Amino acid sequence: MADDASPVKTEGKVRVPNAERSARMRKKLIEATIDCLYRYGYHATSTNVVIAHAGVSRGALLHQFSTKADLMIAVSVFIREHRREAHRKGLEHVTDPHERLDKLVDILWSEMKGPTGVARIEIMLGSRSDAEFADRFVELNQKLEQAHKDRLWEHAQDLGFTDRKLIDSLVHLYAATLRGLAIDATQKGASRDIEGAVELLKRYHRMLVKEEIGG
């Protein structure tokens, strides 16, 4: 008897289970949305634009996402998981706490300036004028930011920090700084000083460590 979770051969063809096909379609739509957000911005990324970009039918999209708000929440969750995995991989073999602090900036900057990062910024900005979406996104965004603060707090304690409020403020400062630099980087003729600004931010982190704990 065939396992329902396994592909089934029918007349020489492999029939993919419904759940797997649905997951593939969902991912395809999410990735197409991220690309549209990156290319065109939030307000120009209508469901019609996403459908055309993904090369699927309206029914295929509506089967996965009833509204644009549902789609944008799913994209936001996808980006959150993508960023979490980037941090996991980026820090996997970094044991020195000072190096980890620098690496956190590098990882976040790489995520911020790429398609997923710009897409998330577009969603943040777009949520301000989308009443249906705003409250749901704010809750999700707060969870992401809290997870980021918790992550840095773990590393900060390894360095000897004891002031949690200071570390939370530091996260807010460098995340907002990198977000702003990412917006600058999307502009034509973006300044070549952007990467230098990121290095300056890392330098500030090192100075803060020395000032607070003499590290």
Q: Is the pLDDT of residue 142 over 80?
A: yes
pLDDT at 12: 54
Helix (H) or strand (E) holding 8: strand 8-10
pLDDT at 209: 87
Query: What's the chain's length in residues?
Result: 215
In this structure, is residue 1 part of a structural domain? no
In this structure, is residue 68 part of a structural domain? yes
In this structure, is residue 2 part of a structural domain? no
Residue-range definition of the domain harbouring residue 63: 8-213
Q: What is the percentage of the chain residues whose pLDDT exceeds 70?
A: 92
Are the C-beta atoms of 71 and 50 separated by less than 8 Å? yes
Average pLDDT over residues 163-192: 89
In this structure, is residue 86 part of a structural domain? yes
In 57-163, alpha helices (H)? 58-64, 68-91, 97-113, 115-127, 131-159
In this structure, is residue 187 part of a structural domain? yes
Calpha distance 160→207 (Å, rounded) = 14
Q: Where residue 38 sits, what CATH number does that domain have?
A: 1.10.357.10
In this structure, is residue 95 part of a structural domain? yes
pLDDT at 141: 87
pLDDT at 1: 41
**Would you put residue 57 in left (φ > 0), alpha (ψ -120 to 50) or beta?**
beta
**Predicted model pTM:** 0.84
pLDDT digits (tens, 9 = 90+) for 184-212: 988 887 777 899 999 999 999 889 888 88
Number of domains in the chain: 1
Instruction: Give every CB contact of residue 64 below 8 A, 6+ residues apart in sequence.
Output: 22, 25, 26, 29, 71, 74
In this structure, is residue 56 part of a structural domain? yes
Q: Is the pLDDT of residue 31 over 90?
A: yes
In this structure, is residue 197 part of a structural domain? yes
Are the C-beta atoms of 115 and 35 separated by less than 8 Å? yes
Side chain identity at residue 137, one-letter code: F
